[in-house]
């Protein structure tokens, strides 16, 4: 994707490791829809707030059959420590090496800073981008956007 999250585009496939080093491949999760949540840094204030809000609203995603994958360029070890502290309840994936490869493929990698920007993508059961949002630095994403995107899949949560 040259531009971020154009609805109707095929979502780039990827494999990343979770907090235990287990590979997770996007295409293997089909036919379930997937919410990809890119974030800059584990343990940072806005990221913690956003991901805890997702955790606290996880039932909405689960009711709709949507799998949540949160992705950053942090190492799996940092993500594991953060997950143990916050108990998110969904997968945190490391885009550490090759550094930012997944974030690059979704157009959310900031090469100067070496981090993923705050972008979210809802991928439908066929692997097509249905919704996307990219927020500027320092601005959290809204749960209302996720609610509307999940509702548009046709499942009321």
User: What is the C-alpha to C-alpha distance for residues 55 and 70, in angstroms, rounded to an integer?
Assistant: 11
Model confidence pTM above 0.75: yes
Contact 58, 89 (CB under 8 A): yes
pLDDT given at position 79: 98
> How many other CB atoms are found less than 10 A from the CB of residue 114?
12
User: What is the C-alpha to C-alpha distance for residues 105 and 81, in angstroms, rounded to an integer?
Assistant: 26
pLDDT given at position 6: 83
**Tokens (6 digits) for 98:** 């090759």
How do residues 60-100 score in pLDDT, each as one tens digit? 999 999 999 999 999 999 999 999 999 999 999 999 999 99
Q: What percent of the chain has pLDDT over 70?
A: 96
Over 90: is that where the pLDDT of 29 sits?
yes
Domains of the chain: 15-152 (3.40.30.10)
How do residues 109-132 score in pLDDT, each as one tens digit? 999 999 999 999 999 999 999 999
Over 50: is that where the pLDDT of 137 sits?
yes
Just list the catalytic residues: 47
User: What is the C-alpha to C-alpha distance for residues 49 and 62, in angstroms, rounded to an integer?
Assistant: 20
Average pLDDT value for the chain = 94
Over 60: is that where the pLDDT of 43 sits?
yes
């Amino acid at each position: 994707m040259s531009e971020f999250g154009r609805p109707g585009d095929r979502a780039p496939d990827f494999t990343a490791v979770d907090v235990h080093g287990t590979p997770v491949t996007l295409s293997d999760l089909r036919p379930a829809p997937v919410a990809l949540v890119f974030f800059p840094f584990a343990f940072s204030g806005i990221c913690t707030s956003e991901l805890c809000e997702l955790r606290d609203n996880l039932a909405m995603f689960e009711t709709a059959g949507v799998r949540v994958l949160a992705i950053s360029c942090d190492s799996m070890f940092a993500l594991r420590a953060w997950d143990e502290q916050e108990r998110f309840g969904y997968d945190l994936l490391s885009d550490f090496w090759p550094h930012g490869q997944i974030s690059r493929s979704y157009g959310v990698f900031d090469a100067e800073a070496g981090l993923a920007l705050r972008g979210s993508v809802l991928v439908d059961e066929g692997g097509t981008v249905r919704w996307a949002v990219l927020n500027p630095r320092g601005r959290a994403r809204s749960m209302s956007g996720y609610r509307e995107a999940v509702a548009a899949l046709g499942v009321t949560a």
